[in-house]
Structure 1
Amino acid sequence: MTGRRRMFHGRTFLPRSLRRTGRGRASALAAGALAACSSLVAGCGVVPGSAAGSGDGPIVVMTWAPEGTAATNMPGMPAFARAYARWINDQGGLNGRKLKVLTCNDHNDTVGAAACARRAVKEGAVAVVGSYSQHSAAFFPHLEGAGIPYIGGYGVTNTEFTSPLSYPVNGGQPALLAGLGKELAASCGPVALVRPDTIAGDALPTMLNAGLRAGGHADARDQLAAEDATEYSEQAESALDTATGGSGAAGSPAGSTADGTKGCVVPALGDRTSTFMDSFRRTRADYPDVRTGSVLGSVDQTVIDATGGGSGPYEGAYVTGWYPVASDKRWAPMKKVISEAAFSDTRISPNDTGVQTTWIAYTVLRKAVESLEGGDVTATRVRGALDRQSIGTDGLTPTLRWQFSGPLGAIGFPRMVNADVTLQTVREGRLVAAKGGFVDTTETLEAAEID
């Protein structure tokens, strides 16, 4: 796609001619952009400490996410943030200071996202923590103007991986798709990708194919679908036909390819993935051995249960995630917070990747604040704490250190410091670890051919 930028869930991918002319040049360009932005933060009207938790007052932060919309909704994130504030304050607060969590509904639109950011500035938030928004162009200018760090966004916008005020805790959708593609390459015949027919959806094949190619596999067939459809029977049938090499039910009786290799279908439709799977489950009767693959955020244990558990379409599926499976003992502290402070709030689930991301982001905030030695807790000081140290997340991610420009700066992701994913599978209706530990997708992403 020459002559224009490509978007991936809000991320902008530069044409290869602008960013793959040599790593040194690309890194220099990225560094220059970051330096310019840093100068804006430091010298263009920002009053250090203007976003502050001063004196004996509470430390103010904000968590935002869309709720009650017709598209993506992440109500568990702000709900958990409020529960976390209750819990940490019962433990004595952060360094003896009360934590005040503001929450905001960005309504999944630019007006709402900008309004949330303006409120964070107005009410003196020292950070925006564990949030989700697809509208970075609407909210980041307000945060950058006030010097407020954005800790642990969901990884759905380009700016989360470019802004020096962004401190991402995961590798976003690029890492998930690259990791999934590499895993499927070893076990799948033809692969069909079902994704939105949007500019944002245009970049999904790039990352999945990077993983497939890394495993010596052919590219996936790109199957377009309307992002707001109420059923996907036509797309499901076409994807299943692709996954069987065009043999369909009239070919091999099990729905595999002519050589017996099972094909795979990868739905990447966000909130509409469950709608697609309803159509897929009905159509799949003639293709019983076709497998599925997905990424966390599109599927979790709740979705697996709702689609039939062990007898549903996700049985045997490979799933990539950013973190260990929800049953891992490393989630015990988060589950303790939910048990003690969520008050049976049904929006909060330990299986929800959004809730998990919010927990990790607040862990980062807590450790940054605890490292400060006296004085006011300000946005400037929180940023300084994040910039000068490595922060562990108790094994839920690799140790995080936000460099000026990380190893993926050459492909436009200078702030992506964690490209690790976990590989999971659905076994007897339960989402379990397929392999131990994390898989680093850095090299796979570096090889992505972004046109």
Structure 2
Amino acid sequence: MSARRRRTALLATAVPLTACTALLAGCGAVPSTGDGDDDTVTVMTWAPEGTQATNMPGMPAMAQAYARWVNAEGGINGRRLRVLTCNDHNDTVRAARCGARAKKEGVVAVVGSYSQHGRSFMPALESAGIPYIGGYGVADQEFSSPFSYPVNGGLPALVAGNGRQLAAGDCSHVSLVRPDTTVGDQLPRLIDAGLAEGGAGPVTDVRAPEDATAYGRHARKALADANAYGGGTVGTAAQGAAANGPCVTAVLGGRTNIFFDSFRHLQKDSPPVRTASVLGSVRQSLVDQTGGAKSPLEGAFATGWYPADGDPRWKPMKHVIQEHAFGDNRVDSSDPGVQTTWIAYTVLKQVLESMDDGEDVTAKSVRGALDRGGPVDTGGLTPKLNWNYDNMLAARDFPRIVNTMVTYQRVRNGRLTKVHDGFVDVQKTLERGSPAS
């Protein structure tokens, strides 16, 4: 190893959260490609914005803030990175266009992105050999394609972990309110797998549209089912009451707050029912916006991928947001999408720095470095990540998951706080929740 590479490796270990991106350009801009310019490496970050369903504008915005920051520091190994952004509009056709754009522009990776439409975008990436690093984890192809390098366990890990968390919280019965989509269809069996480990379940499945403007009917069904099957008595969630009471968990992305608002009004005339969700559907900014300690989310259980927003391991990311997002209110440090983008670019930076001096940075060489490289350190925000064959999950639906850790949090006094230190491993739960091969 050259002296330069030794210095780079030491820097990557000492400051693992240093991430990279590029000067931004819109989807219509024509950048220098990874193959055509030795001084510039082009990547892409995409996410839906301005839609009636789930919107994740903070992810490309975070990539843009990274771009300003890392290029101000001299780039990576002397190379500037350019970030293309694309809006998939939660639409299969637009998602395919984003994938085709990545291929046309010769990007070396798609990094820290969100799209539910893996069947639409992944073929273009696979045909061009472009790695997909750090997707949000809502498309099945993120956990099956050999070109995908997830940094978390996605929605499957969150929901399986949520089941385990609720079982440990002595929920006598759980009603799951989830999107009536193909993504949502896999959630009941995953939460059932988690509940079963604690001797609870099965869950009552309440399907709901992911783009509704009101959820009164679904809230009534969830509440009725919880009370009918749950039995027992329990105090209010805000009182921290415990055993043998029914629970309702909602996984509706950006519409979760609308559901819980409807649910809160119905609860006034009903026996108390505890609530729960997963991070992404619930975040600190949502608790703040809905009343803090008086929020309907007070007392709610929450399962996440990463440490709580107040954890000191997020300080480097928050510094970049403060210095380089320029007051952009799309960038919320408590947003798991923003956090995933930060971690994904951390991975990209370390992978680029691990490559031999003078090696061409192409989609093929980046993917080779990901496949052959050693564990990537994310500064404790995840376990060390390694996508070698031996680290793959023994589950037919999710073989590419290499990080099966989740965290348990709860809203207390208006703050999302950790329930205990460290991570909870849901590997066995995911394997049980995946259909047999």
Q: Normalised by the shorter chain, which TM-score bucket?
A: 0.7 to 0.9
Among 165, 186, 192, the alignment partner of 1:183 is 165
Task: Check 1:226–1:64 CA distance in 2 against 1; reply closer, same or farther (3 A cut).
Answer: closer
Shift of 1:280: 0.7
- Whether the 8 Å CA contact 1:127–1:151 is kept in 2: the answer is yes
Task: Check 1:219–1:77 CA distance in 2 against 1; reply closer, same or farther (3 A cut).
Answer: same
Q: Greater shift after overlay, 438-447 or 285-294?
A: 285-294
CA–CA distance in structure 1, aligned partners of residues 234 and 340 of structure 2 = 43
Question: 1:273-306, CA deviations, whole angstroms, 9 ceiling, x for partnerless residues?
Answer: 1111110111111246321110011110111122
Among 410, 423, 434, the alignment partner of 1:425 is 410
Equivalent positions of 1:43-442 (< 5 A) are 52-187=34-169, 188-245=171-228, 261-287=244-270, 289-375=272-358, 376-389=360-373, 390-404=375-389, 406-442=391-427
Shift of 1:247: 8.6
Equivalent positions of 1:1-12 (< 5 A) are none
Structure 2 unaligned runs (5+)? 1-31
Shift of 1:412: 2.3
Task: Check 1:413–1:103 CA distance in 2 against 1; reply closer, same or farther (3 A cut).
Answer: same
- The residue identity in structure 2 corresponding to 1:361 is A
- The residue identity in structure 1 corresponding to 2:159 is L
- Whether the 8 Å CA contact 2:114–2:136 is kept in 1: the answer is yes
Shift of 1:235: 2.1
Sequence identity percentage: 58
- Whether the 8 Å CA contact 2:174–2:230 is kept in 1: the answer is no
Shift of 1:263: 1.4
- The residue identity in structure 1 corresponding to 2:363 is A
- The residue identity in structure 2 corresponding to 1:280 is F
Question: 1:297-324, CA deviations, whole angstroms, 9 ceiling, x for partnerless residues?
Answer: 1110111122222122211111000100
CA–CA distance in structure 2, aligned partners of residues 104 and 175 of structure 1 = 27
Task: Check 1:105–1:244 CA distance in 2 against 1; reply closer, same or farther (3 A cut).
Answer: same
CA–CA distance in structure 1, aligned partners of residues 147 and 243 of structure 2 = 51
CA–CA distance in structure 2, aligned partners of residues 161 and 449 of structure 1 = 12
- Whether the 8 Å CA contact 1:254–1:287 is kept in 2: the answer is no
- Whether the 8 Å CA contact 1:281–1:312 is kept in 2: the answer is no
- Whether the 8 Å CA contact 1:51–1:121 is kept in 2: the answer is no
Aligned length: 398
Aligned-residue Cα RMSD (Å) equals 2.2
Shift of 1:272: 1.9
Q: Greater shift after overlay, 423-432 or 135-144?
A: 135-144
Shift of 1:411: 2.6
CA–CA distance in structure 1, aligned partners of residues 278 and 306 of structure 2 = 12
Question: 1:110-159, CA deviations, whole angstroms, 9 ceiling, x for partnerless residues?
Answer: 22112112222222211110001111111111111111111000111111
Is the partner of 1:244 in helix, strand or coil?
helix
Q: Greater shift after overlay, 295-304 or 362-371?
A: 295-304
Task: Check 1:51–1:409 CA distance in 2 against 1; reply closer, same or farther (3 A cut).
Answer: farther
CA–CA distance in structure 2, aligned partners of residues 56 and 332 of structure 1 = 33
CA–CA distance in structure 1, aligned partners of residues 122 and 234 of structure 2 = 53
CA–CA distance in structure 1, aligned partners of residues 394 and 342 of structure 2 = 27
- Whether the 8 Å CA contact 1:206–1:450 is kept in 2: the answer is no
Match of 2:16 in 1: none
Q: Greater shift after overlay, 376-385 or 171-180?
A: 376-385
Task: Check 1:189–1:363 CA distance in 2 against 1; reply closer, same or farther (3 A cut).
Answer: same
- Whether the 8 Å CA contact 1:221–1:242 is kept in 2: the answer is yes
Is the partner of 1:156 in helix, strand or coil?
coil
- The residue identity in structure 1 corresponding to 2:122 is F
Match of 1:445 in 2: 430
CA–CA distance in structure 2, aligned partners of residues 157 and 214 of structure 1 = 26
Shift of 1:65: 0.6
Q: Extract structure 1 runs of 4+ deviating beyond 4 A.
A: 251-256
CA–CA distance in structure 2, aligned partners of residues 104 and 208 of structure 1 = 33
Shift of 1:246: 5.8
Q: What TM-score, normalized by structure 2, do the two folds share?
A: 0.86
- Whether the 8 Å CA contact 2:109–2:130 is kept in 1: the answer is yes
CA–CA distance in structure 1, aligned partners of residues 35 and 96 of structure 2 = 22
CA–CA distance in structure 2, aligned partners of residues 233 and 68 of structure 1 = 24
CA–CA distance in structure 1, aligned partners of residues 382 and 221 of structure 2 = 38
CA–CA distance in structure 2, aligned partners of residues 407 and 129 of structure 1 = 20
Question: 1:235-278, CA deviations, whole angstroms, 9 ceiling, x for partnerless residues?
Answer: 22232233234699xx969589xx97221111122222111111
Shift of 1:102: 0.7
Q: What TM-score, normalized by structure 1, do the two folds share?
A: 0.84
CA–CA distance in structure 2, aligned partners of residues 217 and 290 of structure 1 = 16
CA–CA distance in structure 1, aligned partners of residues 53 and 79 of structure 2 = 37
Is the partner of 1:139 in helix, strand or coil?
helix
CA–CA distance in structure 1, aligned partners of residues 129 and 137 of structure 2 = 20
Task: Check 1:253–1:413 CA distance in 2 against 1; reply closer, same or farther (3 A cut).
Answer: closer
Structure 1 unaligned runs (5+)? 1-49
Question: 1:358-417, CA deviations, whole angstroms, 9 ceiling, x for partnerless residues?
Answer: 000000000000111222211111111111121111110000010236442433212110
Shift of 1:186: 2.2
